[in-house]
Structure 1
Amino acid sequence: MAWSIAATTYRLIAMLFGMALTTSFAAAEGTTKGSDYVRVVTDQMHQLEVVKVDPHTFRVQRSAIGQIGFNEDASTIVLAPFSGRVIRLIAKVGDRVRRGDALLEIDSPEQVTPQNEFIAAQAARNKARSQLDLAQIVEKRVRDLYEGKAAPFKELQQAEAQLAAAESDMRSTDTAFEAVRIRLRILGRTDAEIATLEQQGVLSRVTRITAPIDGTIISRKVGPGQYVRADSGEALYTIADLSTMWLKAQIFEQDIAFVRIGQEIEARVAAAPNRIFKARISAISSASDLTTRRVMVRSEIGNPDGALKSDMYASFRIETEAAAPTPAVPTVAVIREGDVATVWVESEPMLFKRRVVGIGIQQDGLTQIRSGLALGELVVARGAIFVDNEWRQ
């Protein structure tokens, strides 16, 4: 039994030794190399991909961080136009509203005085209209008598003066009536409510506060039963149009000289890692943050599907120079060792020479070649690591 195990072990060792000799012999008969070149055999060429150095337009970009924000040009706060107590909340956070939609109802004694003034102005206007109608009738009768030589000219002059005074009173009362109407609108009364007040003359202390713009309610800072004051300056609601958002990038001070209005900006957010949001710079801040030493650069972008949310962290790339075509090779063709970058150039079929190159931007799977290669030369792309390892062995 022991002899059988020993024989088996000997045969296995002999087989491995034979395989090693065969591999060594194959290597001796295959790849050859020198100080800066490698020559491969036909079978090894199947592992390699040789490509031509072509021009490619690289975009020169600066990186930045920042955040997403509401479009402040399309958002607003809702303040209390008068003091009173909240008796009903109608709109909630997240609701989409249109201009004129009711947000809440407030019971306020301050609503009584302007409504009473409206009724008084309406009565004064009606009285002025009656006096104007009477003055017009009198003036016409006296004029007819005067033209028929049945009345003196003095009476016609008096009738004309009374008509002019009535017309002036009518204009004054019309102006006063319209001013009170405008005040009611400012205080939150709708045209329908004002028309009802004009027709029925019934006072009401309850007023609805309506949305001033179309948008989505993003915050509410008022509760039922709460007393609100017109002079507090505290927002009851905040409404924003979420169809557009602001991209706010923070740019290092040393990079701001390369940034201009109109340049393209690309943003990525963690919530949509495979999506790139593109916009153009619309504003550059005139001040630098004292703590971070960065300058805020703002862009506006459409957000029709609501993917962008306010205060999302975002990474940005800003195109800072006009793009120009330069020589490029696939990134897999470049062998990097420390600060040195090399490629393997095909000088003749199956013969590759090592060449040091100057590289630039890496973009879209390509590497920019600043020096060391000319357009049209052939380099190893897939398999460059294999050629380099053969050369180093």
Structure 2
Amino acid sequence: MNRREFILVSSIAALAGVAGCQRKGAGGTDPNVDYYTCTMHPSVRSQDPKGKCPICSMDLVPVWKKGTLAAATPKASSGPVLNEFSVPVERQQQIGVTYATAERKPLHHVIRSVGLVVPDRTRRQEFVARVEGYVQKLYVTSPGEPVEEGQPLLTIYSPELSSAEREFVNLLETRDRISAGEGKAAAERSIEAARRRLEQWNITAKQIAELEKARKPSEFLTLNSPFKGVVEDVPVDQGRRVMSGDHLVNVADLSMVWVWAEFYEDELSMLAKGQKVTVTTKAYPGQKFEGEVGLINPFLAEMKRTIKVRVDIPNPDFKLRPGMYVNIELAMDMGEGLTIPVSAVMPTGSHALVFVDKGEGKLEPRFIQLGRKYGDIYEVLDGVKEGERVVASANFLIDAESKVQGAVKSFEEPAPLEVKP
């Protein structure tokens, strides 16, 4: 073999060796793969497609080179990059991925609180002695006693009252003796003044009318219940002397009660006078009482950041007792809106992220704008269209896959941990 033939044979062998090496590299690795890493430890990097994570011994997964996957959204200078990525269907089944469809639903919001039952102050009568005397007889003796309208509560003996009634009777007789003229008009004015004086001493109009008809003054004043209710307090005893201003007896009409509840500052915009309210209590399991918002206190509690609301509730059977704690629910119809499950949303600080199904194992990370939360669903204001499917479970594992494949890149990437095959 001469020199020229030797050079030609050597060149052919070298070319064949290079081609063989290129074919080996093409068959061993995918040219679109940048490196392989662990889904649980993204800092691990390797060029071995069959390698395992040195930390947890899991199989490594490929990380594709830039440009091989279509970008879902353009890169912004002030936020992370979102790219479409792939998770095989088999892999999704292994990690328990489920999907939910974005759909329009009626929105119902419920505000809950705890309230305290108190008597309706407009249906509560507190009797105070307006004349000096002695408690002659008590017809009610203890709190909780039921009373009917017009039922006697107690009788007070008072000589001062006897003098006032006698004066009233004398004025009536004087007026009757005067036929007409200025004298009769003056007598009428005196009678009216005496009548108002008796009314100020808790003598009812009916009792005054009876006195005017019988013309018999009495030394005893009987106080009657102005409505059907229950005795709230009896601080006096039979035979005790009472002075003007002393507390005698309290009567409350519990056919209508108030419930005072507190709501947080951010719930104020959802409260309105006249709203229907449902009240429940442990004393009557399964039973609901209906009422409505009667008053919203305009003053906010500075420390608790709450506002007091008064709920008016009919109570014909006297089941709701003053001092009882109850649970309050205000249900509101908020219209209709596009919704997704709460479990589908990945909070990322200032953004909310979902993974949208693009079919055949492809997922698209997407930032969305959320509205109010209603139970186990969110209202979506922007970012998802009706009918699109989003990942509803195993979001954190999908998020790990997205970070591994570079679909969601943060500003600071950890230093890679090279693993040699």
Q: Corresponding residue for 2:223?
A: 209
C-alpha distance in 2, partners of 1:245/1:289?
20
Residue 121 (structure 1) shift: 1.5
C-alpha distance in 2, partners of 1:38/1:335?
21
Work out which of the residue numbers 152, 160, 175 in structure 2 matches 1:110: 160
Q: Corresponding residue for 1:310?
A: 322
Residue 261 (structure 1) shift: 4.8
Work out which of the residue numbers 170, 184, 194 in structure 2 matches 1:170: 184
C-alpha distance in 1, partners of 2:267/2:346?
31
Residue 237 (structure 1) shift: 1.0
Q: Corresponding residue for 1:125?
A: 175
TM-score (norm 2): 0.56
Work out which of the residue numbers 116, 120, 133 in structure 2 matches 1:84: 133
Secondary structure of the corresponding residue to residue 236 of structure 1: strand
Residues 133 and 242 in structure 2, CA contact (< 8 A), matched pair in contact too: yes
What does 1:1-393 align with in structure 2 at a 5 Å threshold? 36-39=86-89, 51-58=100-107, 67-91=116-140, 92-128=142-178, 132=179, 166-190=180-204, 193-194=207-208, 197-198=211-212, 200-232=214-246, 234=247, 236-249=249-262, 251-252=264-265, 255=266, 258=269, 261-262=272-273, 264=275, 271=282, 279-280=292-293, 282-285=295-298, 287-289=299-301, 292=304, 294-304=306-316, 306=318, 308-313=320-325, 323=334, 325-331=336-342, 333-334=343-344, 345-348=356-359, 351=361, 353=363, 355=365, 358=368, 359=370, 361-379=372-390, 384-385=393-394
CA-to-aligned-CA distance 1:265-323 (integer Å, 9 cap, x gap): 857665368758663363323x4446646443434344445454434446667799x94
The number of residues matched between the two structures is 313
Residues 345 and 377 in structure 1, CA contact (< 8 A), matched pair in contact too: yes
C-alpha distance in 1, partners of 2:318/2:86?
57
CA-to-aligned-CA distance 1:332-355 (integer Å, 9 cap, x gap): x5376886976665444x857474
CA-to-aligned-CA distance 1:51-76 (integer Å, 9 cap, x gap): 53212354678776654433333333
C-alpha distance in 2, partners of 1:351/1:126?
107
- Could you say if the C-alpha distance between residues 115 and 370 of structure 1 is closer, same or farther in structure 2, counting changes exceeding 3 Å? same
- Once the two structures are overlaid, the 10-residue window that deviates more, 371-380 or 306-315, is 306-315
C-alpha distance in 2, partners of 1:94/1:101?
15
C-alpha distance in 1, partners of 2:306/2:147?
37
Residue 117 (structure 1) shift: 0.8
Bigger helix share? 1
Residues 356 and 366 in structure 2, CA contact (< 8 A), matched pair in contact too: no
C-alpha distance in 2, partners of 1:100/1:258?
45
C-alpha distance in 2, partners of 1:208/1:185?
13
Residue 245 (structure 1) shift: 1.5
CA-to-aligned-CA distance 1:175-207 (integer Å, 9 cap, x gap): 433443444344344566545545554443222
Residue 209 (structure 1) shift: 0.6
C-alpha distance in 2, partners of 1:64/1:363?
16
C-alpha distance in 2, partners of 1:268/1:196?
46
C-alpha distance in 1, partners of 2:352/2:248?
60
Residue 236 (structure 1) shift: 2.4
Residues 263 and 319 in structure 1, CA contact (< 8 A), matched pair in contact too: no
C-alpha distance in 2, partners of 1:354/1:235?
77
Residues 68 and 248 in structure 1, CA contact (< 8 A), matched pair in contact too: no
CA-to-aligned-CA distance 1:79-133 (integer Å, 9 cap, x gap): 22322222322245334445433222222222210121122123212322xxx3x
Amino acid corresponding to residue 279 of structure 1 in structure 2: E
- Could you say if the C-alpha distance between residues 390 and 200 of structure 1 is closer, same or farther in structure 2, counting changes exceeding 3 Å? closer
C-alpha distance in 1, partners of 2:357/2:304?
50
**Alignment RMSD:** 4.7
TM-score (norm 1): 0.60
Residues 358 and 364 in structure 2, CA contact (< 8 A), matched pair in contact too: no
C-alpha distance in 2, partners of 1:344/1:379?
5
CA-to-aligned-CA distance 1:158-179 (integer Å, 9 cap, x gap): xxxxxxxx43323333443344
- Could you say if the C-alpha distance between residues 288 and 95 of structure 1 is closer, same or farther in structure 2, counting changes exceeding 3 Å? same
Amino acid corresponding to residue 237 of structure 2 in structure 1: G
Q: Structure 1: any 5+ residue segments left out of the alignment? A: 1-32, 133-165
- Once the two structures are overlaid, the 10-residue window that deviates more, 85-94 or 301-310, is 301-310
Secondary structure of the corresponding residue to residue 233 of structure 2: strand
C-alpha distance in 1, partners of 2:88/2:346?
18
C-alpha distance in 2, partners of 1:124/1:53?
90
- The percentage of counterpart residues that share the same residue type is 19
Residues 225 and 251 in structure 2, CA contact (< 8 A), matched pair in contact too: no
